[in-house]
Structure 1
Amino acid sequence: MQIFRLLVIAAAIFLTGCAATGPRYAEVEASFPTLRSGYGRLIIYRSGGLGAAVQPDIKLNGEIIGKSQPNGFFFVDRAAGKYTVSARTEVETVLDTELVEGRTTYVQSSITIGLFVGHPRLTLQSENAAVQHLPRLAYTGGIPVAPRTPRAKAVNNTAAVSADERNRPSGPVTLDDLSGLLPPAR
């Protein structure tokens, strides 16, 4: 009986360490970048459940865009069009979806029972279904977002735009563009 208790405690500690950490969706949603013209957003989330230690990479058209972490979410913005979302453990799961300009597509990731390791499962979700889970999930993505920072609004008055912003070339975002969003080095 004593060994059983120790195993349960060890398993609980191990599984607790597997859950995503970071700011919650409710804290960072306001700081998501505004979608560019011609782009859609893909939010992938996993609200816990079976197989917490199994965290497969999530790919979009073969490119790794994040990990399926329990109680976590991330997002990517891509040009509107058709895409394939996939995840692999001992089997590969594939979901075809379409990103629509100016809209957000939600995909829920989960793990089901497998022979040796859990199998990934990807399901398309409505916004109504996704918003039931997202507020308590931790942000695990690579795009820097700041808790409780208001979303940047489009400015129609060019006098209110700084000289740096007016002179900044348009195009893809670089690491230099994002450096101001990162916390100072410790």
Structure 2
Amino acid sequence: MIAKLGRRRVLIAILITGVLWGSGCATLGPVYTKADKIPEDHGLVYIYRPSGFIGGGVAYDVKVGETVVTTLHSGGYYPYFSKPGEVEFWAKTESRSAVTIDVMTGKVYYLKGTVGVGFFVGRPHLTVVPEEVGEKEISDCKLIPESK
């Protein structure tokens, strides 16, 4: 009898975890393809987050100033066309992570987002990675649709 109750509790816990995990998923678009061209007088920043089990259900907004550029989901990417100059990208849940990129016209940058362990919710971590690393890691990511 006790073993049956134990199994039932484990099964219920697994089901609840699955429902909560699934509710954090986003509907993403097609797999990564390079942008055809960069608009004149702009640079391109690919903001991406490789798929991962840790923090997979956590999504967070990536902002420039107070403007939300995209909501970054596990396995997603977003191409952000920026005017040249120093641009600070930042994200915050329990803690804040920020990166400044000196965007140059016609150049491509890769901004990688990850999630670290937090007390209540995962903590965002943003880093600029070299092009060869970014191209490899972003290849399995799917396009994050524009916010409406």
Q: TM-score range by the shorter chain?
A: 0.7 to 0.9
Instruction: Kindly indicate whether residue 47 of structure 2 is the aligned counterpart of residue 41 of structure 1.
Output: no
Amino acid at match of 1:39: H
Name the residue aligned to 2:3. Answer: none
Deviation per residue, 1:61-88 (Å, 9 max, x gap): 3311001111111111011111101001
1:150 corresponding residue in structure 2: none
Instruction: Say which is worse superposed, 103-112 or 13-22, in terms of deviation.
Output: 13-22
**Distance in 1, Cα, partners of 2:82 & 2:145:** 15
Q: How far apart are residue 132 of structure 1 and its match?
A: 1.8
Query: Unaligned stretches of 5+ in structure 1?
Result: 144-186
Deviation at 1:17, TM superposition (A): 4.3
Q: Distance in 1 between matches of 2:22 and 2:139?
A: 19
Instruction: Calculate percent identity across the aligned residue pairs.
Output: 19
Name the counterpart of 1:170.
Answer: none
Query: Counterpart of 2:94 in structure 1: which amino acid?
Result: E
Q: TM-score, normalised by structure 1?
A: 0.67
| Aligned: 1:10 with 2:16 | yes
Structure 1 Cα separation of the partners of residues 136 and 46 of structure 2: 14
Q: Which has the higher helix share?
A: 1
SS at match of 2:45: strand
The structure carrying a bigger strand percent of its residues is: 2
Do residues 101 (structure 1) and 98 (structure 2) align?
no
Are residues 1:25 and 2:46 paired? Answer: no
Q: 1:57 deviation in Å? A: 0.8
Query: SS where residue 102 of structure 2 aligns?
Result: strand
The residue type equivalent to 1:15 in the other structure is W
Give 1:157-176 correspondences, 5 Å limit.
Answer: none
Within-5 A mapping of 1:51-62: 51-62=55-66
Q: Given residue 14 of structure 1, which amino acid in structure 2 is its aligned partner?
A: L
Q: CA deviation at 1:48?
A: 2.5
| Cα distance change, pair 117–83 in 1 and its aligned pair in 2 (3 A) | same
Larger radius of gyration: 1
Asked if 1 retains the 8 angstrom alpha-carbon contact of 2:29 and 2:145, the reply is no
Alignment check: 8 A CA contact 1:46 1:72 kept: yes
Paired letter, 1:84: E
Change in CA separation of 1:102 and 1:25 when aligned onto 2, cut-off 3 Å: farther
TM-score between the two structures when normalised by the length of structure 2: 0.83
Structure 1 residues 90-143: Cα deviation after superposition (integer angstroms, max 9, x where no partner):
211111112121111111111111112111100111121122222221111329
RMSD (CA atoms): 2.0
Gapped regions of structure 2 (runs ≥ 5): 1-6
Quick check: 1:18–1:70 contact (8 Å CA) kept in 2?
Answer: no
